[in-house]
């Protein structure tokens, strides 16, 4: 999975993700989303669900249609195996690093179903090359392998550089130097990382301080994508066709309040770009919800596919907190009613409507003991929306003014005009 990068002397496409707050950096720099070798193919490795023994499971998910449908390739204990993943240029080959410890990584030849373990000391950052079997690992120096991770050769020792991605031509590599400022220095190599040159990159409209930055290669020489945090809940997508000589702002995307993590990667076809947000339903029905966003125009517009990875995927039966919730009319035009029956919530509840980008567009509150609330939808555009029903639990001991929201129901609502 990648988020953004730039280049020097040809044509470049860039997308950059940079968090304005350090708490987000762990979600942006970890490459758990990657393109595969074939058109419309992506892989995702993420937290999935908690089983009946309270063990949190990770899943590797695979799509051959830009995220419209998903298949489950692998399930593993999150605290044993939870590495970043990188797609090779050969179909079916996937790298996971680290695998089970900081000095191991895995190579899969069956689309992520099984992994063969490889060893290299102190694996820090990894990038799959542009040629079959090529992989770069940054740890105590930069190492390059050309035989699917069996053997490596030492390339260089540039500790001030943070490896980002490879280019589209053999030998091309990108790093970021002295991360934290806008403008920042982009390091570029065309000799497999042995030497590099620097170019100063300025992201238009971004603050002077950048706490994190990632780069994703495009599909043509000199092209890369960059993703950066504009503010705490908004991410800016940039693109370059000329190794970063010019950088264009493509769009802003919201980091939805339901989202716990967000990942980015560029695709195999010109203009293709993806970002995925992961939300969840908490105990007793804990499981992940994925919002896969796919663009054909370098991130200007996106199609969104929602995947609720519930009991049909996990095999763990869900336990209902609310015995009955009627949402009507659905489709709705001017208003929608949420009516509860059976066992009512023990606390106040909140109903929130989200559009398919994860932006909250309407909400209402249901006081404890009340059975019905109406939301006005007249100002909303026609289309598909998601609703979340959360129970607001107030803390009365150490923090009496603090409240915790627990999701107890979610679903879809169609609005027509």
Task: Give the tens place of pLDDT for each residue, 165-177.
Answer: 999 999 999 998 8
According to the model, what pLDDT value does residue 213 have? 78
CB atoms within 10 A of CB 26: 11
Q: Which helix (H) or strand (E) holds 407?
A: strand 403-415
Query: Taking the CB of residue 233, how many other CB atoms lie within 10 A of it?
Result: 15
Cβ neighbour number for residue 404 with a 10 Å cutoff: 13
Determine the Cα–Cα distance for residues 196 and 144; give it in Å rounded to an integer: 16
Cα(243)–Cα(65) distance, integer angstroms: 29
Q: Is 216 helix (H, G, I), strand (E, B) or coil?
A: strand
- How large is the C-alpha radius of gyration of the chain? 22
Asked whether the predicted pLDDT for residue 20 surpasses 60, the reply is no
Other C-beta atoms closer than 10 Å to the C-beta of 127 total 27
**Residue 90: is it exposed, middle or buried by C-beta count within 10 angstroms (0-12/13-18/19+)?**
middle
CB 320 within 8 A of CB 343: no
Would you call 28 helix, strand, or coil by DSSP? helix
* Structural domain for 293, as ranges: 22-314
For residue range 26-60, what is the model confidence (pLDDT) as tens digits?
334 468 999 999 999 999 999 988 887 888 899 99
Q: Is residue 276 located within the same domain as residue 350? A: no
Give the closest residue to 225 by CA, choosing from 238, 213, 235: 238
**Number of H-type helices and E-type strands within the chain:** 2, 31
Confidence of residue 395 (pLDDT cuts 50, 70, 90): very low
| Cβ contacts of 172 within 8 Å, gap of 6 or more | 7, 130, 166, 188, 189, 190
91 part of a folded domain: yes
Q: Judge whether residue 204 has pLDDT over 80.
A: yes
Examine residue 12 and state whether it is found in any structural domain, yes or no: no
Q: Which helix (H) or strand (E) holds 60?
A: strand 56-63
pLDDT of 409 above 70: no
Q: Is the pTM of this model over 0.85?
A: no
Give me the pLDDT at residue 284, please. Answer: 56
Both tokens of 207, joined, read: 């603050």
Give the pLDDT score at 134.
97
Is the pLDDT reported for residue 404 higher than 60?
Answer: no
Q: How far is CA 298 from CA 39, 219, 379, in A?
A: 15, 11, 30
Whether residue 15 lies inside any domain: the answer is: no
Q: Reduced to 3 states, what is the DSSP secondary structure of residue 276?
A: strand
Domain termination site, one of 314, 343, 375: 314
Tell me: do 376 and 233 sit in the same domain.
no
Q: Given the structure tokens 């099984």, which residue do they identify?
A: 114
Q: Does residue 146 register a pLDDT over 60?
A: yes
pLDDT at 340: 80
Place of tokens 């490795």: 45
On the question of pLDDT at 22 being above 50, the answer is: no
**Does 405 score more than 50 pLDDT?**
no
Both 187 and 99 in one domain: the answer is yes
Q: Which of 24-33, 138-147, 179-188, 264-273 has the lowest mean pLDDT?
A: 24-33
- State the pLDDT at residue 258: 63
Q: How far apart are CA 132 and CA 264, in angstroms?
A: 23
For residues 194, 199, 205 and 208, what is the CA-based torsion angle, rounded to 10 degrees? 80
Q: Is residue 11 part of a domain?
A: no
Phi-psi category of residue 55: left, alpha or beta, with phi > 0 → left and psi -120 to 50 → alpha = beta
Calculate the average pLDDT of the chain: 82
- Lowest model confidence (mean pLDDT) among 215-224, 302-311, 339-348: 339-348
Tokens of 66: 């830009």
- Both 113 and 153 in one domain: the answer is yes
The answer to whether residues 389 and 287 belong to one domain is: no
Answer yes or no: are the C-beta atoms of 105 and 115 closer than 8 Å: no
Q: For residue 225, what pLDDT is reported?
A: 96
Q: Cα(345)–Cα(367) distance, rounded to whole angstroms?
A: 9
| One domain for residues 369 and 295 | no
Q: How far is CA 250 from the centre of its chain?
A: 18
Q: To which residue do tokens 């106040």 refer?
A: 348
Where residue 342 sits, what CATH number does that domain have? Answer: 2.60.40.1220
Is position 17 within any domain?
Answer: no
Do residues 368 and 228 both lie within one domain?
A: no
Residues 97 and 152 in one domain: yes
Q: Are residues 395 and 282 in the same domain?
A: no
pLDDT of residue 342: 65
Domain boundary among 314, 332, 366: 314
Question: 228 pLDDT exceeds 90?
Answer: no
pLDDT, residue 104, reads: 93
Instruction: Indicate if 52 and 181 belong to the same structural domain.
Output: yes
Strands 153-156 and 287-295, bridge-based pairing: unpaired
Structure tokens, 261: 């993590």
pLDDT of residue 191: 97
**Confidence band of 392 (pLDDT split at 50, 70, 90):** low
The CATH number that applies at residue 62 is 2.120.10.30
pLDDT at residue 411 tops 50: yes
Is 171 a domain residue?
A: yes
Q: What is the pLDDT of residue 2?
A: 38
- 333/310 same-domain check: no
Q: How confident is the model at residue 393 (pLDDT cuts 50, 70, 90)?
A: very low
Q: Write down the pLDDT at residue 77.
A: 93
Q: Are the C-beta atoms of residues 175 and 158 closer than 8 Å to each other?
A: yes
Q: Are 389 and 366 in the same domain?
A: yes
Q: Is residue 125 part of a domain?
A: yes
Write the burial class of residue 399 (CB in 10 Å: 0-12 exposed, 13-18 middle, 19+ buried).
Answer: exposed
Q: Return the pLDDT at 321.
A: 42
For 270-322, the pLDDT digits (tens) are 999 999 988 876 555 678 888 899 999 999 999 888 888 875 565 554 444 44
CB 238 within 8 A of CB 218: no
Determine, yes or no, domain membership for 232: yes
Which tokens sit at 220?
């043509």
Counting the structural domains of the chain, the total is 2
**End position of a domain, from candidates 269, 292, 314:** 314
Over residues 347-354, mean pLDDT: 82
CB distance 155 to 193 below 8 Å: yes
**pLDDT band at residue 181 using 50, 70 and 90 as cut-offs:** confident
């Amino acid at each position: 999975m990648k988020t953004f990068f730039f280049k020097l002397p040809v044509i470049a496409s860039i997308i950059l993700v940079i968090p304005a707050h350090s708490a987000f950096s762990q979600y942006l720099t970890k490459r758990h989303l990657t393109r595969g070798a074939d058109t419309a193919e992506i892989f995702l490795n993420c937290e999935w669900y908690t089983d009946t023994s309270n063990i949190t499971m990770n899943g590797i998910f695979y799509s051959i249609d830009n995220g419209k449908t998903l298949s489950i390739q692998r399930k593993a204990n999150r605290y044993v195996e939870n590495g970043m993943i990188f797609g090779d240029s050969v179909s079916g080959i996937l790298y996971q690093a680290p695998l089970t410890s900081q000095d191991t990584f895995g190579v899969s030849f069956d689309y992520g179903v099984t992994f063969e373990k490889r060893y290299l000391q102190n694996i820090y950052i990894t990038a799959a090359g542009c040629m079959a079997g090529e992989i770069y690992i940054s740890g105590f120096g930069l190492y390059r392998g050309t035989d699917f991770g069996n053997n490596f050769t030492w390339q260089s020792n540039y500790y001030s550089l943070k490896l980002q991605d490879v280019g589209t031509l053999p030998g091309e590599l990108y790093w970021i130097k002295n991360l934290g400022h806008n403008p920042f220095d982009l390091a570029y190599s065309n000799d497999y990382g042995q030497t590099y040159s620097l170019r100063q990159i300025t992201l238009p409209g971004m603050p002077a301080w950048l706490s994190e930055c990632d780069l994703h290669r495009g599909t043509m020489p000199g092209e890369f994508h960059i993703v950066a945090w504009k503010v705490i809940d908004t991410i800016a997508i940039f693109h370059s066709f000329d190794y970063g000589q010019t950088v264009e702002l493509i769009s802003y995307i919201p980091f939805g309040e339901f989202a716990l993590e967000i990942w980015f990667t560029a695709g195999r076809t010109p203009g293709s770009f993806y970002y995925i947000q992961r939300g969840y339903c908490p105990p007793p029905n804990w499981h992940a919800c994925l919002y896969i966003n796919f663009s054909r125009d370098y991130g200007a517009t996106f199609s969104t596919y929602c995947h609720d990875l519930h009991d049909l995927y996990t095999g763990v039966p869900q336990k209902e907190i609310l015995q009955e919730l009627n949402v009507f009319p659905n489709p709705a035009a001017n208003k929608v009613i949420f009516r509860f029956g059976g066992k009512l919530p023990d606390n106040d509840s909140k109903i929130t409507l989200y559009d398919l980008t994860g932006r909250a567009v309407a909400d209402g509150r249901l006081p404890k003991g009340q059975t019905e609330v109406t939301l006005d939808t007249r100002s909303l555009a026609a289309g598909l929306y998601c609703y979340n029903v959360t129970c607001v639990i107030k803390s009365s001991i150490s923090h009496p003014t603090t409240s915790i929201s627990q999701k107890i129901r979610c679903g879809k609502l169609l609005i027509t005009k």
